[in-house]
Amino acid sequence: MRDQDKPKEQLINELAELRQRVTELESSESQRQRVEEALRQNGEELRAILDGARDGIVVLDLMGRVVRVNRYIREIGGYAEDEFIGKQIDALEMFPPPSLAKILSAFRKLETGQDLPPYEVEVHLKTGERRMVEIHSSLLKGNGRVEGIVAILRDITERKRAEEELKQGFERARSAMKGTVEALMSTAERRDPYTAGHQQRVTQLACAIAEEMGLSEDQIEGIRVAGSLHDIGKIYVPAEILSKPGQITDIEFNLIKIHPQVGQEILEAVNFPWPVAEIVLQHQERLDGSGYPAGLKGDEILLEARVLAVADVVEAMSSHRPYRPTRGIDEALKEISQNRDITYDSEAVDACLRLFTEKGFAFE
């Protein structure tokens, strides 16, 4: 249809749309010029600073178009300057879609005045290589108003590789440590099945108490390892004493009392990231100094050892032993309740009582 054949109202609407587009273009061009002017204010000194930086720097106007990139971006990325300047950020080949989505989201937050911590994205170099960068963004201000956005891109590829290698190394060490613990547990189990089962149940309860007390994951893991091995020193005690039916003599009991120290000597040779050997050494100590082997009192005893002590007593009293029948869980809870803050840690006792009376804890 020729323009003279169009209805007058349609021509007016099309003319208005055309004027709107022209206005937007003029506004966009004006805004771009203001950004360039803001960058030119410090002239060659600013250019030298930008090009001398060992991080990538990208300057955008508020329409999301690239106004300037520094030499580092051009040289490392392998892109020519005309592949950046004047392009919308979402048209740059350097940023794959997932990275672009994260960048645009970050810019929107920045424009609304929200705090924007550094964030990580993947970038694609022209060589095809993929690298990880950390982006720090801030608003570019000139003449008292916001003119654009400055983004600093720091290559963290090697750091991420080192972190991944460290993580893998930690997992290997953790796996090796787990194997060490299992081997030691197996040694105890072959010599005394009662001791092995006891260690497993004490560990279950001790970790539940620690979690109920709000201890850290790291502390709970240390308790888990120490609980699994807390009676490893009993391999020093003759098997006929451990499995002896009936009353144990004072001499035999004094021999059994050596087991925490023997356990420490065995475990201190293993480089655990937790004080496992010390926890094992102290698990028979009591707040009032009546425990063994050193007669420690109160805070002289590690918190982890105080937790383990409560779990140890409860499991031992509520389980059958070759030398005596079980005394039952009620008697065990009565024991720690009556001696709360006397021989046993009050927080550990309270947590243990809640587990059994309110939360339905039961040994597996």
The string of DSSP codes covering 168-200 is: HHHHHHHHHHHHHHHHHHHHHHHH-HHHHHHHH
**Of 222, 279, 344, which is closest to residue 353 (Cα–Cα)?**
344
Q: Where are the domains of the chain?
A: 32-155, 165-357
Rg (CA), the chain: 35
Cα–Cα dist 305/73, whole Å: 56
pLDDT of residue 350: 97
**Of 236, 241, 263, which is closest to residue 251 (Cα–Cα)?**
241
Please write the tens of the pLDDT for every residue from 149-177: 888 888 898 988 888 888 887 777 777 77
pLDDT of residue 44: 57
- Provide the 8-state DSSP code for 247: P
Adjacent-strand bridge partners of 149 = 60, 139
Cα–Cα dist 361/354, whole Å: 9
CATH superfamily of 32-155: PAS domain (3.30.450.20)
Pairwise pLDDT comparison (18 vs 179), residue with the higher score? 179
Residue 340 clears pLDDT 90, i.e. is over it? yes
Count Cβ atoms within 10 A of the Cβ of residue 315 and give its class: 0-12 exposed, 13-18 middle, 19 or more buried: buried
The pair of three-digit structure tokens given for residue 150, joined into one six-digit string: 């400055």
Please write the tens of the pLDDT for every residue from 244-253: 777 778 888 8
Pairwise pLDDT comparison (320 vs 306), residue with the higher score? 306
- Fold assignment, 165-357: Hypothetical protein af1432 (1.10.3210)
Residues 6+ apart with CB under 8 A from 23: none
